[in-house]
């Protein structure tokens, strides 16, 4: 199975900060990489798919980049609604696997 490793596991941030989360795959996955946001008590919601495509309705302060084995999710000017846990997920090959998550804390 492809292992997905996120860093950092948690991040203390403030409103207005620029945040970058990194996701590394144990083997190349081209651009088959997605980013999800999960808030307490809710299901994950896709933010970015295929590494850099912004899901409809997601604010443009979210962006994704990368290919191969290294990917980043960037949030410019963090908003109060953005404090959540973020997961990367590879869809290059089944079983589809997720990173362990990055929790953004105030």
3-state secondary structure of 80: helix
Comparison of 50 and 77: residue with beta carbon closer to another protein: 50
Segment lying near another protein (by CB under 8 A), choices 10-18, 21-29, 74-82, 93-101: 93-101
Binding flag, residue 106, another protein (CB under 8 A): no
| Binders of another protein in range 25-54 (CB under 8 A) | 32, 34, 36, 43-46, 49-50
Is the preceding peptide bond at 38 cis, omega within 30 degrees of 0? no
CA 92 to each of CA 9, 20, 29, 30: distance values in angstroms, whole numbers, following the listed order: 23, 23, 5, 7
Binding flag, residue 87, another protein (CB under 8 A): yes
Q: To the nearest whole angstrom, how small is the minimum distance from the Cβ of residue 14 to another protein?
A: 26
Give strand pairing partners of 102: 86
């Amino acid at each position: 199975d492809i292992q997905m490793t996120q860093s950092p596991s948690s991040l203390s941030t403030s409103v207005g900060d620029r945040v970058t989360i990194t996701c590394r795959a144990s083997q190349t996955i081209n651009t088959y990489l997605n980013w999800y946001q999960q808030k307490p008590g809710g299901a994950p919601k896709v933010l970015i798919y295929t590494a850099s495509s912004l899901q409809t309705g997601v604010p443009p302060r979210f962006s994704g980049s990368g290919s191969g084995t290294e990917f980043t999710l960037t949030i410019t000017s963090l908003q109060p609604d953005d404090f959540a846990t973020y997961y990367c997920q590879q869809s290059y090959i089944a079983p589809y696997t997720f990173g362990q998550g990055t929790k953004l804390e105030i």
